[in-house]
Chain A
Amino acid sequence: DADVTQTPRNRITKTGKRIMLECSQTKGHDRMYWYRQDPGLGLRLIYYSFDVKDINKGEISDGYSVSRQAQAKFSLSLESAIPNQTALYFCATGAPRAQFFGPGTRLTVL
């Protein structure tokens, strides 16, 4: 959905590097989410935010941190990337009953 954008779309990095994935939305939603997708595992929730001051851990938050800079922006950081964080990362916005997904960021950690 063009209303939810993610940058970069692809990234290759090395073990130990810090990396930030960014998500922006123009839909005016308060709620934003970060998921990771791994083959055969579906999507798993990393972090979610109900508004700028309300940020919560999801089921697999270890090794990740987030920042909600504004209603429209929600960034995911890997403080020290490791190979098992290689995955496809999706940002989503909106209430769970009507969620919109971004195009994804494919991250490879060597």
Chain B
Amino acid sequence: AQSVSQHNHHVILSEAASLELGCNYSYGGTVNLFWYVQYPGQHLQLLLKYFSGDPLVKGIKGFEAEFIKSKFSFNLRKPSVQWSDTAEYFCAVLRNSGYALNFGKGTSLLVTP
């Protein structure tokens, strides 16, 4: 079973629309959480990460994510998307005893002018 679930596989938004991409995981215990972005033709880049502390984390380019432990969720948000946000977004989870990241299947975001 997929241990990291991204609910939206393809999202199309107009510029200035708000964005929320869902991510849920099924691991118990302590986890570290990540969102990566892959712009067309490029490698993965880290958007933001959560290790501990304030469950609302802010990343680069105006992105933020909220860790809700009770829901096993780490949703990515941006109040107003831009055309340049067109990319694929991956949620990833590192278990406390883990040796590597576990990635979700990704969400492809297309922002139209």
A interface with B by C-beta (< 8 Å): 1, 33, 35, 40-45, 48, 50, 56, 58, 90, 96-97, 99, 101-104
Contact = CB atoms under 8 A, between A and B. Distances in A.
Interface in B50-97: 51, 90, 94
Given A56-B99, A90-B43, A96-B100, 4 more contacts: A41-B105, A44-B103, A97-B49, A101-B43
Interface of B: 4, 6, 9, 32, 42-46, 49, 51, 90, 94, 98-101, 103-106
A45 B103 CA distance: 9
A97 B106 contact: no
Given A97-B51, A102-B43, A33 B105 contact: no
A90 B44 contact: yes
Q: Is the interface of B mostly helix, strand, loop or mixed?
A: loop
Contacts of A43: 44, 90, 101, 103
Nearest to B105: A42
Nearest to A97: B32
